Amino acid sequence: MGTERKYSFMRRGFYRMRLNCCSYGKFFSSSPPLTPIALPSPKETHLWYVIPSEVKGESLLNKYMEILSPSEKENVLSVGGDELRKSALLARTLVRTTIARYQINSSISPRSLKFRKSIHGKPEVDWQQGDHCEPPPLHFNISHTSSLVACGVTVNSPIGVDVEAKQRTVKHNVLTLARRYFSEHELEALTAIKDPQLQHQEFMKLWTLKEAYVKALGRGFSGAPFKTFTIRFGSAIGASEISVDLLDDPSDLTCNWQFMLLELAGSHYAAICTEKDVTNEGNTKGPVKLTVWKTIPFVEDKCVSGTETVRILCGSR
Amino acid sequence: MAARIALLKYLRVEARPAQLRNPRLIGGSFSQLFKRQFSEEVRGSFLDKDEVRDRVINCVKNFQKVDPAKVVPNAHFQNDLGLDSLDTVEIVMALEEEFGFEIPDNEADKINSINLAVDFIASHPQAK
């Protein structure tokens, strides 16, 4: 029996990891497998998230390293600082384990998944063609902060996810940031809020929504500069709706996109942007069903939608 | 200004049908003249790269979220300094304030390391 390389994740005093050679432990076979989940329907969105500070233990982190591709491992190891490196590792782990749960076919495991970038640089799954396998129309998008990593999954619709800590500080005054990066309407809306804490919160909400939209479009920050579109809260349909319109044609309310804004665990805003499902005889106004899981891959999954942990602030219910 | 006058002079003199039938000839001479005049004219307003690097590094070090010890010339904003998209936008703003010119959004996307910021700023004549 040959020896396998075990990537030692945490080494006191080192930023660069040394590769250790040692034989495989038995821990891999004794851990619970990933809970299989049915693919979301076209009107559904799934959101999985992990809290890095709750993921402990070198052996668990090493296990996560094992499911990454060689280039992902290299990228993770090149990140400086233990906390940042952990967040980078958890992001890749979350994507791989999440997609593998959907049991597209039995040959897919977290480690076997391959990824590529779209023509505009957005990460997507590179489905390997099996004999009787049609690539499923699964879309995903991840967002990570040092305190929370999230992965959204849809079927048939591009998705953009952004998470930010509610309390995160910004160096500049939020109105200065808004003046430089937001649309006029958004700046006006922010300026109208007099309480600085509320104003800060509204800024963060707008930021996550705008990021989620840009990520759903998949063309990068420069492909859809923040100043070129406006996020509006409320519409003729109802106050809980969020919409986006493009500045060069304000009459063209870009109806294709729908948003959800959540508060997770009382500490983070999460914005999700997806394309509306138009298959139902042109009826695009149906509510989107959102299911949220909090996970520690290979350890535990908890469905938290409908609980205090997930507060839907705005958008389809 | 001198470049503009020289250009106009050149264009006025050379507007002869024979010349016009060979646009490549005009194009070649035009660009040579342009390069010579333009670069002499403007060389003075490009900042020295080392000076730009020092100022960029100082600017980033002042960013509260950043560990000053990690701010080295080849530091990558996301991977080495742990900055996310909102932080990067703030750094771009801080650099705009430091160098007195606006960095277009479609360029800002590509500035995600100290070296890239330095290269960009040092090649921009509007940087002060």
Q: What's the pLDDT tens digit per position in A69-120?
A: 999 999 899 887 888 899 999 999 999 999 999 977 777 889 999 999 988 8
Question: CB distance B105–A226 less than 8 Å?
Answer: yes
A125-157 pLDDT tens trace: 988 776 456 777 899 999 988 899 999 999 989
d(CA A106, CA B51): 58
pLDDT of residue A19: 36
Question: Of B16 and A2, which is predicted with more confidence?
Answer: B16
pLDDT of residue A278: 67
Is some CB atom of chain A closer than 8 A to the CB atom of B114?
A: no
Give the distance from residue B82's alpha carbon to the nearest chain A alpha carbon, in angstroms.
6
B64 contacts in chain A (CB < 8 Å): 169, 171
Residues A233-260: what's their mean pLDDT? 67
Closest CA to A67 of A91, A103, A43, A36: A91
Lowest mean pLDDT among A165-179, B9-23, B36-50: B9-23
| B71: nearest CA partner in chain A | A80
Cβ atoms within 10 Å, residue A317: 10
B94-128 pLDDT tens trace: 999 999 988 887 788 788 899 999 999 998 888 88
Read off the pTM: 0.79
B109 contacts in chain A (CB < 8 Å): 220-222
pLDDT of residue B19: 45
pLDDT, chain A, mean: 82
Give the distance from residue B112's alpha carbon to the nearest chain A alpha carbon, in angstroms.
12
Token reading at A276: 């509306």
Question: Of A83 and B57, which is predicted with more confidence?
Answer: B57
pLDDT, chain B, mean: 77
Q: What are phi and psi of A151, to 5 degrees?
A: -135, 120
* Strand positions, DSSP E, chain A: 4-7, 19-22, 44-50, 115-117, 123-125, 138-144, 149-155, 159-165, 229-233, 242-246, 257-264, 268-275, 289-296, 300-303, 310-315
Given the cut 0.85, state whether the ipTM is greater than it: no
Which strand (E) or helix (H) includes residue A210?
Answer: helix A196-217
Catalytic residue among B50, B54, B67, B84: B84
